Structure 1
Amino acid sequence: MNLKSFVKVGNISNLSDARYCAGFGVDMIGFNLDPQNDNPVALETAQEIMGWVAGVDLVMEYGNLPLAQIRETHQNIGTGYLQVNSVEVAQALATDTKVILKIHIDDANDLTAFTSEADGLSEDIAYLLIDCQDESLYLDIDQAISELELTIPTLKAFDVTADNVLAKPAFYHGIALSGSHEEKPGFKDYDELADILEVLEIED
């Protein structure tokens, strides 16, 4: 299958999600290795799942883990991309690794901080991923991204629904979605993820 937008699905923790997303033709799937985040997956489990999927770029999501630990782990894995939450860590890794920098905006101060440092981001960073849970900031973030005219492809990880995904502003390169916990092996209720991917599906 092909989709009408670039799509990354992160927080993959089970083979059902991985196969489902790969079958739909998403561009990237990511595995959360930071135990401080929700729904983390063991490195061994992530590697096992990666062995069963093809046709998608793989992303190891290191969150807030220390730079030294990320370097050591990633050298042993050798996947295409890694994702981190720290600007400093992303800058340090971007010269020799394909890096996704996740920016989580919790309040207006976070948005101000991001806009002030955006011009100084290394162009070696492969993608920016912008996330937010505060609905009151959604329009402000969209406006800020449009005005920054970023050269780094930017993925929208907030305010993405089946109803609005086709109206995604053109200044976003694509969207970022999230996998979910599997109740038991082989049993999944995809709900919103499925709804969004079905809207994006290009009919043959």
Structure 2
Amino acid sequence: MLQTHLLAFGITHLTDARYFAAWNADYLSFSIGPDGLSVEEFMAIREWVEGPTCVVEWRRGAGEPLTAEAVKAYGITHLLLDHDAPLPDLDGESLTLIRRIPVAGYQSAEDIGELLHATTGPVVLDFAAGGIAYEDLAEGSPFTIGELQRILGDRPAYLHIDLEAEDADAAAAVFHGLALRGSSEEKVGYKSFDDLDDLLEALE
């Protein structure tokens, strides 16, 4: 059992899906689009994993807009969108929405707070997108951990951030959860998870 919550995103193959499911992730988010999966491939992989909630990650360039008909037909219940992406027209279909907010080194806690207030529900705070590591955050750059805790309150936020295994306990003690990104297989059906194993084992 991990000391913190886990969201895995950018998943494009069954190997990643099974790995993160075995670590009891809350969410498995599957990237849909030309560089990821088709909705049909997402459906097929979803049948092979149990436990986590499966999320459709609809990024820019995903092709045709997500429709209410597709949501209903494929049983999609959760959607991950970039913070500034428009909501699809779902014609009354109910979805749980997760927003990804990239964090840059020039942004203040107040800047991020404004973006948070414009959304509801769980969020992925993507520090890695701005090249920000946990060590930077611990040293107060671009803002302090205390400032981040203040603007988050009790909001379920998953941090995507470069985190060393020795800092895992400290991070788990102050934040709701971590977001880890999937990556390509080394060959079909095989991938080394040594780097993630060290981090996740430190969180047990």
TM-score scaled by structure 2?
Answer: 0.79
Contact 2:101/2:124 (<8 A) preserved: yes
CA positional deviation for 1:170: 4.4
Q: Which moved more, 1:101-110 or 1:131-140?
A: 131-140
Q: Cα–Cα, structure 1 residues 151 and 71, in superposed 2: closer, same or farther, change >3 Å?
A: farther
Contact 1:84/1:99 (<8 A) preserved: yes
Q: Cα–Cα, structure 1 residues 99 and 92, in superposed 2: closer, same or farther, change >3 Å?
A: farther
- Equivalent of 2:77, from 77, 80, 92? 80
CA positional deviation for 1:5: 1.1
Q: How many residue pairs end up in the alignment?
A: 194
Q: Which residue of 2 aligns with 1:130?
A: 125
String of CA shifts for 1:132-178, please: whole Å, max 9, x gaps.
Answer: 23238633353442231434211111132322121116452111101
Runs of 5+ consecutive residues of structure 1 not aligned to the other structure: none
Q: Cα–Cα, structure 1 residues 71 and 164, in superposed 2: closer, same or farther, change >3 Å?
A: farther
Is 1:160 matched up with 2:155?
Answer: no
Contact 1:145/1:171 (<8 A) preserved: no
- % of aligned pairs identical? 24
CA distance, structure 1, for counterparts of residue 116 and residue 121 of structure 2: 14
Q: Which residue of 2 aligns with 1:190?
A: 193
Contact 2:127/2:159 (<8 A) preserved: no
Q: Which residue of 1 aligns with 2:39?
A: 43
- Equivalent of 1:145, from 145, 148, 162? 148
Q: What secondary structure, in the 3-state scheme, does the structure 2 residue paired with 1:70 have?
A: coil
Q: Cα–Cα, structure 1 residues 117 and 188, in superposed 2: closer, same or farther, change >3 Å?
A: closer
String of CA shifts for 1:1-37, please: whole Å, max 9, x gaps.
Answer: x2221101111111111112212222211101144xx
Runs of 5+ consecutive residues of structure 2 not aligned to the other structure: none
Paired residue type of 2:49: V
Q: Which residue of 2 aligns with 1:9?
A: 8
Paired residue type of 2:40: E
Contact 2:71/2:77 (<8 A) preserved: no
Contact 2:65/2:88 (<8 A) preserved: no
CA positional deviation for 1:110: 7.8
CA distance, structure 1, for counterparts of residue 26 and residue 82 of structure 2: 21
Q: What secondary structure, in the 3-state scheme, does the structure 2 residue paired with 1:108 have?
A: coil
Contact 2:121/2:156 (<8 A) preserved: yes
CA positional deviation for 1:192: 1.8
Paired residue type of 2:195: E
CA positional deviation for 1:86: 2.8
